[in-house]
């Protein structure tokens, strides 16, 4: 059973303009109304229904930074962060679907695409096409540039051969940003980014992973067997794919931070409501000082994480350096999400350990935050290099 949470705003109203707060709250109200009733079903089926994805496009959150002239919302990166936070408060699986679409795929096309690439793909991504970002491989995780996927020149284009793993949105996507190396001897300077369509010959989506958490979000392998890609679909320059990857992932980490604070907010919502309703020893659990102190600490950590995420997003929007801040917000928010969801399970007691109640799912969902788009150790390494430079 899942108790009704309602549409009240998050407890934190940190540094938001009135318009920004209204936007975040409107996305949350949508999620509370149209996503919440289906969360458990989607988790068990490991699937987000296409009709829900269509509703996300109608809401305008699948093309937030796409210019209005190309069918998008014409909004800012910060709005994408707010949307991911609001959606993740209800279901982090839907949050990451929207996150990858905006902070990785559309962001990369806006920054690195030619006018032709933007004209061909941005309207589609704003109107109904899901995108995915394919960097990881079996031997290329934290060592992101140890790519085995090869790209060889052939006629007026390239032929890509290789296998990508753990690609978010792969089951739903029709457009993929794929990284391959044109010159293995050149190391990271041989890496090139390509815009690949599902319909291209030699491209296939392979096995879907059976995951611990964010189960409704698809995670699949990609198979490229002499996949032909037009030269016009090179994203950025040949041999400069490492810049596309690094700079896009830095921004994507802010999106994951937003997913984690939304997830933690959802867990805290449930914990607060449950402890007010649950009675032990003749009074509500929330009346015990030990419980109050745990909730107070969780709320404080969550607000600190939100500040880190919003600050990194503001810096990015202002065109200022944000590498350290992006690493900090992802590191801390993912740790806070794990602690808050664990607390929620504890406060629910035995009910927290069963699937009839919502917090065990959020606990499972939280774990990925310390792994994807750069592990916590990589974030610590990035922060250390920045403060020691």
19 Cβ partners below 8 Å, 6+ apart? none
Helix extents (H) in the chain: 18-30, 39-45, 50-59, 77-88, 92-99, 107-112, 115-127, 241-277, 289-317, 323-348, 359-366, 376-388
In contact, 163 and 149? CB cutoff 8 Å = yes
Distance, CA of 308 to CA of 138 (rounded, Å): 32
Q: How many CA atoms lie within 13 A of 78 on its CB side?
A: 20
Residue in 10, 1, 6, 35 with CA at minimum distance from that of residue 307: 10
For residue 9, what is the DSSP state? P
Measured from the Cβ of residue 388, the count of other Cβ atoms closer than 10 Å reads 6
50-59 and 92-99 helices, crossing angle to 10° = 60
The percent helix, strand, coil of the chain (3-state, each to 5) is 55, 15, 25
Pairing of strands 175-181, 131-134: parallel
Is 221 an active-site residue? no
User: Which residues form the catalytic set?
Assistant: 373
């Amino acid at each position: 059973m899942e108790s009704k949470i309602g549409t009240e705003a998050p407890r934190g109203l940190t540094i938001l303009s009135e318009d920004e707060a209204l936007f975040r709250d409107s996305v949350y109200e949508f999620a509370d109304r149209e996503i919440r009733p289906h969360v458990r079903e989607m988790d068990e089926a490991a699937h987000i229904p296409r009709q829900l994805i269509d509703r996300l496009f109608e809401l305008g959150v699948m093309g937030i930074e796409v210019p209005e002239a190309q069918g998008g919302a014409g909004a800012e990166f910060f709005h994408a962060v707010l949307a991911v936070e609001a959606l993740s408060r209800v279901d982090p699986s839907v949050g990451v679907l929207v996150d990858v679409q905006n902070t990785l795929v559309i962001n990369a096309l806006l920054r690195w695409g030619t006018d032709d690439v933007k004209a061909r793909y941005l309207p589609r991504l704003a109107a109904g096409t899901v995108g995915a970002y394919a960097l990881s491989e079996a031997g290329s995780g934290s060592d992101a540039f140890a790519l085995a996927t090869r790209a060889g020149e052939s006629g007026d284009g390239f032929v890509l051969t290789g296998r990508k793993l753990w690609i978010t949105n792969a089951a739903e996507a029709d457009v993929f940003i794929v990284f391959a190396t044109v010159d293995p001897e050149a190391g990271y300077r041989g890496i090139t980014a390509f815009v690949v369509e599902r319909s291209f010959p030699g491209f296939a989506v392979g096995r879907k992973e059976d995951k611990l958490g964010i189960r409704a979000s698809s995670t699949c392998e990609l198979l490229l067997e002499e996949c032909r890609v037009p030269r016009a679909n090179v994203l950025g320059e040949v041999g400069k794919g490492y810049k596309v990857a690094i700079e896009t992932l830095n921004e994507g980490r802010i999106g994951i931070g937003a997913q984690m604070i939304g997830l933690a907010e959802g867990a805290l919502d449930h914990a607060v409501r449950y402890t007010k309703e649950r009675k032990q020893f003749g009074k509500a659990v929330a009346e015990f000082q030990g419980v109050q102190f745990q909730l107070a600490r969780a709320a404080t950590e969550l607000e600190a994480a939100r500040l880190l995420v919003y600050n990194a997003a503001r810096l990015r929007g202002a065109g200022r350096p944000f590498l350290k801040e992006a690493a900090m917000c992802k590191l801390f928010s993912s740790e806070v999400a794990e602690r808050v969801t664990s607390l929620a399970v504890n406060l629910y007691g035995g009910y927290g350990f069963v699937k009839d109640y919502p917090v065990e799912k959020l606990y499972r969902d939280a774990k990925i935050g310390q792994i994807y788009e750069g592990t916590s150790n990589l974030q610590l390494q990035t922060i250390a290099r920045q403060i020691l430079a």
